[in-house]
Amino acid sequence: MSDGDYDYLIKFLALGDSGVGKTSVLYQYTDGKFNSKFITTVGIDFREKRVVYRASGPDGATGRGQRIHLQ
């Protein structure tokens, strides 16, 4: 997918106390990796992921996927 080639843009902002795992959750979701020895992030960390969501109907058929860009 190129820039602007999506159906939905979702911007997610995680706020919280230092050391609670905001960056760890972010990296786990975007990269599928967990680092137990993460250094505390100071300031801002930005990641993005593009997914295609295909909902199935009551008969089990799936329609065109919705392209979602998560930031």
| pLDDT tens per residue across span 59-71 | 766 777 899 999 9
pLDDT at 3: 59
HSE-CB of 6 using CA atoms within 13 angstroms: 17
| pLDDT tens per residue across span 12-60 | 988 888 888 888 888 898 899 888 777 777 777 888 999 998 887 777 6
Residue 33 Ramachandran class (φ > 0 left, ψ -120 to 50 alpha, else beta): beta
pLDDT at 2: 58
- Select the more confidently predicted residue: 6 or 3: 6
- Spell out the domain ranges in the chain: 8-70
pLDDT at 49: 92
